[in-house]
Each structure stands twice: as C-alpha cells, then as structure tokens.
Amino acid sequence: MASQALNVLISDKVLAYVREAATSRYGLEQIHFIPFSGQPLDEQTLAQLDIAFVSRDITGRSTKFVLEPATAIFYQMLEQAPRLQWVHVHSAGVDRPVYVSLRDKGLSVTSSTGALSAIVAQSALAAVLALNRRFRFLEQAQREHKWAPLLDELMPADLHGQHVMLAGWGPIAQTIQRYLDMLGMQVTVLRNSAIDRAAIGATNGATDSATNSTPNGAGNSPTNVPMIPYSAMHQLLPQTEWLILACPLTETTRQLVDRQALAAIKPGACIVNVSRGEVIEEAALIDALSTGHIAGAYLDVVEKEPLVVDSPLWDMPNVMVSPHTAGHSSGNEARVADIFLENLNNWVHGLPLRNLSR
C-alpha cells in the first residue's frame, strides 16, 4: 500500500469526476491530482509526477502521425518526468510511439480495453449491414434523385450462412462475434497460436468492479467458435466472404492482409477494419477494390492518419472511410475513467493492474 501521496497528472476536464469517485468509491484520500490545461508543467512539478492519465480530450484530434500542440506537450512531459511509473491510456490500443517508448523504459502502461468494446462492435456490425445492403449505392442514387431498386446484379446476398474470418479475440472481437451469430453468419477466429485454447472461456477484460459484470456488455466468450492461428489464415481465405479485423497491431498482424492474402480471398469478399491501418497493405487493397475482387470495405483506420487528401479511397463508391471514430460515444469518458480509477485503487494497494500492456 502506498504510504505517501501520489501525484497524478490528469486533464482538468475529467478531474472533478475522477477526484470525487476516488474518494467516495475507493476512499483514496492520499492522491494529489495535478490538472493539465494544455500548458507544460514547471520543472519542479514535473519531477514529482508518479502517474499520468491520458484521457480522450488530451489526444483530441491527434493521430499516431500528427499531434496537436497540447497532445505533443503532454507526451513530451511523459517522456521527461523522471519519477513517472505508470501511464493509463483511454484507448484499447497502446501502439503509439510514446507508449511503446515508455513501456520499453520500464514504465507500466495500461489501456482501457473493455470500455469501448460494444461501441466498436456496433460500428463493425453497422458496416457489415451497410455494405451488404449497398447503402453507398442507395445514398448516391438518392443524391441523383434516382429510383434504383436493388434488383438483378444489385440484389444483396443473404448474410445468413456467409463465412466470416474474424481477426482478434479481445472484448471487441468477442462482441462482434455475438452480433454476427445473431445474423446467422459462420465465424472463424484468427488469434495468436501461443494463446492456450483452454483459456477460450475467459474474456480479455476483467469484470467491472462496480457492477460485477463484464465491461460494456462483453459477456462470456463462447467455447464453440472455430479458431485457427494467424499462420493458418491462407487455408481458409478462399472460403471467406467477410474479413473483419479487430486485432491489436503486433509484429504478427502488421501487414497481415497483404497482396498475397487479398489475392487468395474469395472474389467479391468485403473487408471491415476496426483494428489498425497497418494491418492491411493499403496499396494492394486499393488495387483489389478497383478491380472488384474485393467488393467493398469499411475502413475506420488507414496506414497513415489522417488519410491524405489525394488517396483513391476517398472517392471509391465501394468504400466507407471513417476518421478512426468507430469507438466514439458519449459514455466513453466515464467508462474509461472508471477503469483508471479501478487501476488507481489497485496501484495504491499493490494489486495487479488491469489491461497491463506487455
């Protein structure tokens, strides 16, 4: 148990909620919260930081490649704080260079895996329905005041019975699988072969201590879903009609969907990416979309964000692009803060941190 006050760097936007909950929910009295309002801390205060909470408002519209000024200041302070021990991040992924650097230096870095699971999964489900029901085509027809029923070659195929290859098996992917099961789609999961099959029944996110339930409706994962390692992906691609990417970015998943994989997938397949842009070889995907070998794609992420203005993806009639926003929802701020608070209590009492990045 911590015997002295901990100094926590936190956004002034979420400070009031976190401070009140830390006291009323967990009885954490010995926490000194240092608010961040977009300006650098003085050297003396910076030297006292123990913990930092990177909430959504701090990253704002920054991407992995382009930082807003306030985000850059905050990241620089993380790198420079000599006593900093633990950083909690609002996102499920912690592959931004600053987080990798901090982890490599020995700091604890935790994510908010579980907080956004249902929201991202809902976006993936919406994408499947929109691509299948040809919403892009119907939207364009409406703009042109054209009555264009989905007949003949435009007739959508039944989703029931179609084969989905789902990359990843964290809380997001598990929620997506349940939604697809509701539609009668047949799912095969791609996951790391090093993960023990005996652990399939457990979710990657811990239960929510406040509600004694799995975060955001993640629920218990089914044990009867076919699963194969990433190395076996190409064996099933010729039978794959949907490729849904909800995996973390690792050395295994980087460029997982390369030109060879795209060539092997069943003609007319669709791709949904709510993972990371680097999981797909983007130039090869553009080529496959242009020829129609890939019938359509929903891309919430791209190789380099923001997407360059002259990318062909913007104007492709069979592509939906969203600006890394599949997980955005009004309830996220509280859910993320609650995970941070749970971990703060764990830190104070010497308990294991939830969602610790390794």
The pair of three-digit structure tokens given for residue 11, joined into one six-digit string: 């956004």
Q: Are residues 308 and 227 in the same domain?
A: yes
CA 223 from chain centre, in angstroms, equals 23
Residue 354 resides in a domain: no
Q: Are residues 175 and 240 in the same domain?
A: yes
Residue 165 and residue 109: Cα distance in Å, rounded? 30
Name the helix (H) or strand (E) containing 8: strand 6-11
Q: Are residues 98 and 184 in the same domain?
A: no
Residue 68 resides in a domain: yes
Which 8-state DSSP code applies to residue 207?
P
Dihedral sign for Cα 297, 262, 314, 144, please. Answer: negative
Q: Are residues 141 and 241 in the same domain?
A: yes
Query: CB–CB of 109/354 below 8 Å?
Result: no
Residue 226 and residue 207: Cα distance in Å, rounded? 25
- How far from 350 is each of 2, 5, 203, CA to CA, in Å? 8, 15, 23
What CATH number does the domain containing 153 carry? Answer: 3.40.50.720
Residue 358 resides in a domain: no
pLDDT tens digit at each of 358 positions of the chain: 455 799 999 999 999 999 999 999 999 999 999 999 999 999 999 999 999 999 999 999 999 999 999 999 999 999 999 999 999 999 999 999 999 999 999 999 999 999 999 999 999 999 999 999 999 999 999 999 999 999 999 999 999 999 999 999 999 999 999 999 999 999 999 998 644 443 333 333 333 332 233 444 444 556 689 999 999 999 999 999 999 999 999 999 999 999 999 999 999 999 999 999 999 999 999 999 999 999 999 999 999 999 999 999 999 999 999 999 999 999 999 999 999 999 999 999 999 999 999 8
Residue 279 resides in a domain: yes
Residue 357 resides in a domain: no
- As for how many domains the chain has, the answer is 2
Expressed as residue numbers, the domain containing 107 is 6-115+330-348
